[in-house]
A and B are shown apart, each in its own frame.
Chain A
Amino acid sequence: MKSFKTLKSIITPLDKVNVDTDQIVPKQFLKLVQKSGFGKFLFYNWRFGDDEQIKSDFILNNPKYKNSEILVTGDNFGCGSSREHAVWALMDYGFSVIIAPSFADIFFSNCFKNGLLPIILSEKIVEKIQHETGEVEIDLENQLIKTPSEQISFDIDLHKKTILLKGLDDISQTLLYEKEISEFEKNSTIPSVL
């Protein structure tokens, strides 16, 4: 997994609450399992009409946001189905950070498995960031969001922060302790049935 340290980009405001994973990646694409290439299916029904014509009123279709890596959105982002494809699609499209007042549990957990940084901030601050037109810097090490006018700090679980900073997934993280684990298992008096 790629490590995450800092990132500078303009933000894409997606002013919606309860964005579910069906909207993030519609079901017809779930049968595909390659991890790359899902970006073209991201928010498919919002970006494209029936004949695949581009819906120009949808924010992602505004060329201004083409290189944005930060999505700023509403409450309960990623609710619904547990499909990890949702995270793959957001990342493949180019997003590295999602800022919202709250996230759905399974989606939130899936983010860290793939190197996507979800940041939880109060509704008031999220709304303020949504109106930010200049470049915003995300500094994970110092847990700061630097906008042209201010610095906003955010909370993140230390374990999850380490995972992202080092570019580890849970499995590689565990393997860092492989020696200790096998030592422990060898010397353990706890019966294996426990």
Chain B
Amino acid sequence: MNITEKILARASGRQKVSPDDVIFANVDKVMMHDVSGPGVIKVFDKLKKQGINVDKLWDPTKVWVAEDHFVPSPDKVSAENIVKLSNFTKNYGIEKHFKYGMGQYGICHTLSHEEALVLPGEVYVGGDSHTNTTGALGSFACGLGHTDVAYVLLNGKIWFKVPHALYFKLNGKLPEHVMAKDFILKIIGDISTEGGAYKTMQFGGSGINEMSVESRLTLCNMTTEAGAKNGIVEPDQKVVDYLTSRGASNISLVHGDDDAEYEKIYEYESSELEPVVAKPFSPENIVIVREAPSVELDKSYIGSCTGAKYEDLVAAATILKGRTVKIRTEILPASISIYKRAMENGLLKIFLDAGVTVGPPTCGACCGAHMGVLAKDEICISTTNRNFPGRMGHIDSQTYLSSPLVAAASAVTGKITDPRDLK
């Protein structure tokens, strides 16, 4: 069995599972945020009306709640949703509620690793499609709709069909100017936004072993854009150290068997990879940066669960140090813990000196909700994960998806720029 099958077998109390088996798995952790949370509360209300007992959750210690999409509250409705969420966590005894303005908070997928909320080998589900991110820790992580999250909150279990697995092997360490974001965009370009539909996307090989945990998180994060059920990397000592330094203990790793089976194996050579961007309006519209259209950019955005982890900010800082931005540029660290490290290590000064606006953690602009949305015909280069029509603002705005290095280099020139070509 591969690692995903091993985790699902363990969670469902079976010796062995195979692709397409339907299993009833015990869930270890569950997450909801300020969009899925109020949706879940609605489902609870409906169940209550049907006479179903919703007085107690299966295990409030295994649940956490993030405030990330509409925070800091841009309007009254959002503010009320935050109040609703607070009442819910209070009533049900959920202690892990990361509130903005009260210490550590941030994007839910970032908290999952920054706060070591999910451990290797666990089954983790969340009310958000990018829950896949956390598979980089060697766990089974996938997103659910509101009704499914409500079901898990009450029962601690959920049905899964065991997915078929695709294996992406990366040979050799990525060159300095190429980031994990370039690799995953390249993959999506190759297999299409449907290429991973209801499949596991597993990453391995010497290039992945060399990669930091944060880079692996970027890979798994965007498996969602290929339609994957989950993204996963076999955990190693780096994962153990990463989680231990964030307070985790009792970590036990699950690994795939030597004779693990995959539906298909894709192989890539690091030395052949180049910085790329995804053109509007799909993450599969990949073009090499040096061959990208020469458009006048209006904005560069470095933020989100995909592109505002600490190493993403460090990458941006290496470019922005001693330079000034030519276009409107926003940098939003994905959590307060990352924000603090960026401050302590001088990154914020580099950004501010370059003319960047540094904002609080939020999903706001990534989903075009608030905090820097795009106007009609504006063109943005962004470290986020989606560039559907209107995703970041007006339906006639455009987004190019890129790595933090490319987004920062492009901020300096106002054009889509390969970091190697920066003077």
- Which residues of A pack against B, CB within 8 Å? 18, 20, 22-23, 26-28, 30-35, 45, 50, 75-76, 79-85, 87, 102, 104-106, 109-110, 113-114, 169-172, 174-175, 194
Interface centre among A23, A33, A50 (most CB of B within 10 A): A33
Q: Is B367 an interface residue (CB 8 A)?
A: yes
Chain B contact surface mostly: loop
Smallest Cβ-Cβ distance to A103: which chain B residue: B197
Q: Known interface pairs A33-B38, A106-B143. Does A171 touch B47 (Cβ–Cβ under 8 Å)?
A: yes
- Chain B interfacial residues counted at CB < 8 A: 49
**In the complex, A117 Cα to B129 Cα: how many Å?**
21
Selected from B52, B151, B198, the residue in CB contact (under 8 A) with A105 is: B198
10 contacts between A and B (CB under 8 A): A22-B368, A22-B390, A23-B389, A30-B35, A31-B75, A105-B229, A106-B143, A106-B145, A109-B145, A171-B47
B390, A26: Cβ atoms closer than 8 Å = yes
B194, A33: Cβ atoms closer than 8 Å = no
Per-residue contact bits, chain B 321-343, to A (CB 8 Å; 1 contact, 0 not) = 00000000000000000000000
Chain A residues near B62: list those with CB within 8 A: none
B369, A170: Cβ atoms closer than 8 Å = no
Q: Known interface pairs A104-B227, A171-B52. Does A80 touch B194 (Cβ–Cβ under 8 Å)?
A: no
**In the complex, A175 Cα to B38 Cα: how many Å?**
24
A110, B145: Cβ atoms closer than 8 Å = yes
Q: Is B41 an interface residue (CB 8 A)?
A: yes
Per-residue contact bits, chain B 136-172, to A (CB 8 Å; 1 contact, 0 not) = 0000000111111011001100010000000000000
Chain A residues near B81: list those with CB within 8 A: 31, 33
**Besides A27-B367, A105-B227, A109-B145, 18 other CB < 8 A contacts?**
A22-B390, A28-B368, A28-B369, A31-B77, A79-B227, A81-B128, A82-B128, A82-B143, A82-B144, A83-B35, A83-B145, A84-B146, A102-B197, A104-B197, A105-B197, A106-B129, A170-B147, A171-B47
A76, B197: Cβ atoms closer than 8 Å = yes
Chain B residues near A194: list those with CB within 8 A: 13, 26
Q: Known interface pairs A82-B36, A110-B145, A175-B52. Does A27 touch B369 (Cβ–Cβ under 8 Å)?
A: yes
Q: Is B6 an interface residue (CB 8 A)?
A: no
A113, B129: Cβ atoms closer than 8 Å = no
